[in-house]
Chains A and B, each alone.
Chain A
């Protein structure tokens, strides 16, 4: 959120103001490529007994529910690199589906009311039986951003 060219903004839900979503910090999984940047959706992975974050690809509805996290400070940021390890930047994330609203850059064509899911960490439109992470409540197709509530 602090990068000058950032196309991502958390609009509601981050504690303490507008408190809602649960916040956490996790090291990114080694060799994750591309790296997780703000606005991407991650998941916790067990790497040798340690919690590491990698990009989420949502499961199907009816299967085990996903536990998605929204990256709000990604591996491209100096804070993340400074507080993490050389190969494992520390990501700041918010638990999705616990009450938050964010604006994110997207190349996907979306309309208000669309459900969205995470495809390799990137927001995509639900068109099949993929588990949704949220619903679009605002779009600007010319500027290519969407506001998502989840």
Chain B
């Protein structure tokens, strides 16, 4: 969100934005995550003792066929703030957020989205894996899609 060249923006849903909704928290990037996790990446909690860390997420059902708990990185390792505090700022998906993000996909409005290694995809991985959002806008000229979650 802080770079002039950034193709990612939270439109609604986080504190400081009109219509704040989604809950935001800071996590450490998981040891060994490579390349560094940047804004717009979907991550999830890694089972580690301390500190609580996150790594790139792939949509999956969890224990007892429960939905997964994906987070969207809104301030990633490319930002100096993140590097200074060694944290990624994340917004919890499915708690009310709308964002714009660059994509290689050619989605259509209403496409459902999943995460594959941290990247949003409109390809259903099958097996009942839970989607995490929906496309509500697509700018084909600039390769940008608007997502609600």
Residues of A at under 8 Å CB distance from B? Answer: 12-13, 17-21, 60-62, 97-101, 111-113, 115, 126-132, 134-138, 149
Contacts and interface: CB of A to CB of B under 8 A. Distances in A.
B45 A99 contact: no
9 contacts: A18-B20, A19-B15, A20-B95, A61-B66, A98-B96, A112-B45, A115-B62, A115-B66, A131-B64
A149 B59 CA distance: 18
B102 interface: no
Contacts of B33: none
Given A20-B95, A132-B62, A149 B21 contact: no
Contacts of B27: 137
B65 A129 contact: yes
A121 to B, nearest CB: 19
A98 B20 contact: no
B64 A137 contact: no
Report, nearest first, the 6 A-B pairs whose CB atoms are least far apart: A99-B95, A113-B47, A99-B23, A129-B64, A132-B66, A135-B69
A106 B112 CA distance: 37
B64 A113 contact: no
Main secondary structure of the interface of A (DSSP, over half): loop
A99 B96 contact: yes
A12 B49 contact: no
A132 B68 CA distance: 10
B46 interface: yes
A19 B92 CA distance: 13
A130 B66 CA distance: 8
Main secondary structure of the interface of B (DSSP, over half): loop
Contacts of A134: 69
A2 to B, nearest CB: 22
A117 to B, nearest CB: 8
B42 to A, nearest CB: 15
B22 to A, nearest CB: 5
B22 A20 contact: yes
A134 B62 CA distance: 12
Contacts of A101: 23, 25
Given A12-B25, A19-B21, A115 B63 contact: yes
Nearest to A141: B49
B48 interface: yes
Nearest to A125: B63
Nearest to A17: B15
